[in-house]
Chains A and B, each alone.
Chain A
Amino acid sequence: MAKKALYLQLWEKFRMQILAGEYQYGELFPTERELEIQYSCDRKTIRKALNLLVEESLLVRITGKGTFVCKPDIRLSLENLKSFSGLLRQEGVETEKKVLFFKKVEAGYRVAKVLNIKKCDEVYKCVRVLYDKENPIVLETIYICDIFPDLLKFDLNIYSLFEVMESFGQFPTKVTEDILAVELPETEAQYLNKKTGDPAYLISDITENQEGKIIEYNRAYIASERFVLSTDLF
């Protein structure tokens, strides 16, 4: 049986190391020089193996800085109608919610446009951060139509917003979700413990109830490097 080419053996080995979590996301991968010495083979072979990993997006080469591991560790399954904490829990990530702001405010032009109301109408606004073991990973700003008697008395640190809405007879039935990739603006970056300009997903959800009325508008910034977004749709 023919032995596998050396570069392929190395590729498999590095790949397993990365996928097994031996390197943290964002960690510097050993340099070609270091690997040359460690595995006693020539640079061309090393580079061939690394190229395969770069092609697979397990490694990323940044000119002037080095080669970094970029394997995300959380899969966000997009085809489920669930809150972020629900989606993360499905992946085994228990999050803690911290509500930073929860008040009734004037909708303003942009929010009114989305919710199909007047800009002077009032809406509930909730700003919330989801943490995974002390690391902030999601920053949500949620606007809810003023169709609930008094939403403010619910502690959204504890209760799921969907559950609260359902208890008032409003069932999230249809969601239109837009996923954008952005560079984090200053304040949002601070909330997520990242640098201004770091890449993030901006996920905007517009939720309709069972009668087709728009009841919620949710804008969430998600630090992107930990996530793979996936869907299995037909």
Chain B
Amino acid sequence: MARHNNLCFEKALDAIEEYIDVHGLKENDALPAERKLAEELMMSRGTVREALKALECEGKIYKIHGKGNFVEAERHSVDINDMQSFSAAEKREGNIPSSKVFFFQMMKAGEMVAEKLNISSEDKVYSLCRIRKINGKPVMIETAYLPAVIVPGLERYDFEEESLYHILERDYKIEIMNQELNIQLSRASDQEAARLEIEPGDLVYVEKATARTVDNRIVEYTKSIISSKRAKYRIRLSRREDILMLDELKLSILCNEEKIKRQEGYAVDSIEDMYWEHVDQALAQVKRNNSKICFYLADDVMELMMRYISNYADFLILNRMEREKAKMYVDQALERNVRVALIVEDDCITICSEEKKEQICIGTKVIDMEEFQKKFLFGVGREWEPIKCVRYALNHL
């Protein structure tokens, strides 16, 4: 019978879950026997049995042959948004994380690891394999590979007590900018099952992660085997801020000059005023849609345009403008809505925000401004610090 039409089945799922909540049943508590449960819920035994099977598939309950059905523990949530995740996140929720080092050695990278870390297979790597547990139950086997040359002396740390990322930041000044994650499903081998205290053949996630710094250097490759009964992934997404990049040419397209020409009875003094009136309306609409606007100006700029920058710009990029003029525009802009302004000169970029000004030397590098803008705004959209956005942009051109 088509599941979506099977009201009895859906009702049974609802009723069982409500029963568990109402009676405060927790991890490892027993549910009443099938027959009794069906009586209590006033449903047919067959429907209840089907519902229990579905809950078992989902990992909400487990069955012990001969003994009955029990409530399964809530899965540990692997928080994708939080890279420091394991140690930090767990303590927050009152669960006790612990790690057991399975092995920790320096070895030759080998073909596969070398490819992931972008080094040669003869290079040395540290290989750290840990079994991560929550409240004593193993959740994942995590093997991390780091090029030995960037973390000399790593062997003196006790990784059962300390967090790797914490040590990288504090003692090696290595800050991880991003992590690229790939997840696949597989089944646990005999060995993996033994270490995770699950059955061989149980479903596991195979997670491969590559961690990079802001300079796009790969510092770590991790392969983890994660029990699917004990863990799930959680990710929180928000709509990225749409950031509109505008220069004078795009402004005119935005206003669609055709529209202006067809207007009748428009009481204004000149075509030019009418044009800018439309610019005003168009920009106001963009703001109402919750987008942000980045103005990009090269060489000189019309005085008139500054008015719009003052009212609508959130970000400003000035490229090769006469220094005094640039400073003046930036000061004006920062007094209004502009959060971050960049002054791009031949050999350096000055990053100005209300709080501070920072400079990055770029030497004689020739920058493709369109690509630079895109990469800069990429970081801005993710709410990085302005200087990080610029460094990321320069390193990914």
CA separation between A72 and B183, bound complex, in Å? Answer: 10
CA separation between A175 and B189, bound complex, in Å? Answer: 34
Question: Are A187 and B3 CB-contacts (below 8 A) given A52-B111, A78-B80, A231-B80?
Answer: yes
CA separation between A177 and B81, bound complex, in Å? Answer: 11
Contact between chains at B181 and A199 (CB < 8 Å): no
Q: Which residues of B contact A11 (CB under 8 A)?
A: 111
Q: Does any Cβ of A come within 8 Å of B58's Cβ? A: yes
Q: Does any Cβ of A come within 8 Å of B10's Cβ? A: yes
Which of A78, A101, A119, A178 contacts B14, CB < 8 Å? Answer: A119
Q: Does any Cβ of A come within 8 Å of B59's Cβ? A: yes
CA separation between A173 and B236, bound complex, in Å? Answer: 11
Which of A8, A181, A185 contacts B205, CB < 8 Å? Answer: A181
Q: Of B226-234, B275-283, B309-317, which binds chain A?
A: B226-234
Q: Does any Cβ of B come within 8 Å of A136's Cβ? A: no
Q: Does any Cβ of B come within 8 Å of A232's Cβ? A: yes
Question: Are A108 and B232 CB-contacts (below 8 A) given A11-B111, A60-B187, A72-B184?
Answer: no
Q: Which residues of A contact B59 (CB under 8 A)?
A: 180, 182
Q: Does any Cβ of B come within 8 Å of A79's Cβ? A: yes
Q: Which residues of B contact A108 (CB under 8 A)?
A: 10-11, 14
Which of B15, B58, B187 contacts A202, CB < 8 Å? Answer: B58
Question: Are A233 and B57 CB-contacts (below 8 A) given A60-B186, A183-B203?
Answer: no
Contact between chains at A224 and B185 (CB < 8 Å): yes
Q: Of B132-140, B158-166, B172-180, B245-253, which binds chain A?
A: B172-180
CA separation between A141 and B5, bound complex, in Å? Answer: 12
Kindly supply a per-residue 1/0 record for chain A positions 92-132, scoring 1 wherever the CB is within 8 Å of any chain B CB and 0 otherwise.
00000000110000001110000000010000010100000
Contact between chains at B235 and A171 (CB < 8 Å): no
Which of B177, B186, B234 contacts A57, CB < 8 Å? Answer: B186
Q: Does any Cβ of B come within 8 Å of A174's Cβ? A: yes
Question: Are A177 and B14 CB-contacts (below 8 A) given A230-B180, A231-B80?
Answer: no
Q: Which residues of B contact A127 (CB under 8 A)?
A: 4
Q: Does any Cβ of A come within 8 Å of B304's Cβ? A: no
Q: Which residues of B contact A184 (CB under 8 A)?
A: 57
User: Which A residues from 167 to 206 make CB contacts under 8 A with B?
Assistant: 171-188, 191, 199, 201-202
A203 → chain B, closest Cβ, in Å? 9
Q: Which residues of B contact A201 (CB under 8 A)?
A: 185
B contact residues, total (Cβ < 8 Å)? 52
* A-side interface size class: 35 or more
Which of A173, A180, A191 contacts B228, CB < 8 Å? Answer: A180
Dominant secondary structure at the B interface: mixed
User: Which B residues from 334 to 388 make CB contacts under 8 A with A?
Assistant: 382, 384
User: Which A residues from 131 to 176 make CB contacts under 8 A with B?
Assistant: 141, 171-176
CA separation between A224 and B184, bound complex, in Å? Answer: 8
Which of A8, A72, A110, A230 contacts B181, CB < 8 Å? Answer: A230
Q: Does any Cβ of B come within 8 Å of A80's Cβ? A: yes
Which of B5, B10, B77, B237 contacts A175, CB < 8 Å? Answer: B237
Question: Are A109 and B178 CB-contacts (below 8 A) given A182-B57, A224-B185?
Answer: no
Question: Are A81 and B183 CB-contacts (below 8 A) given A57-B206, A233-B178?
Answer: no
CA separation between A101 and B57, bound complex, in Å? Answer: 23
CA separation between A108 and B384, bound complex, in Å? Answer: 42
Nearest B residue to A60, CB-CB: B186
Q: Does any Cβ of B come within 8 Å of A56's Cβ? A: yes
Contact between chains at B239 and A173 (CB < 8 Å): yes
Which of B13, B83, B234 contacts A177, CB < 8 Å? Answer: B234
Contact between chains at B239 and A199 (CB < 8 Å): no
Contact between chains at A57 and B184 (CB < 8 Å): yes
CA separation between A202 and B205, bound complex, in Å? Answer: 13
Q: Does any Cβ of A come within 8 Å of B238's Cβ? A: yes
Contact between chains at B14 and A141 (CB < 8 Å): no
Nearest B residue to A100, CB-CB: B4
B256 → chain A, closest Cβ, in Å? 23
User: Which B residues from 1 to 59 make CB contacts under 8 A with A?
Assistant: 2-5, 10-11, 13-15, 17-18, 53-54, 57-59
A81-B238, A110-B13, A185-B57 given; name 14 further pairs at CB < 8 Å: A60-B186, A101-B4, A109-B14, A171-B239, A174-B236, A174-B239, A176-B235, A177-B235, A177-B236, A181-B232, A185-B58, A187-B2, A191-B3, A199-B187
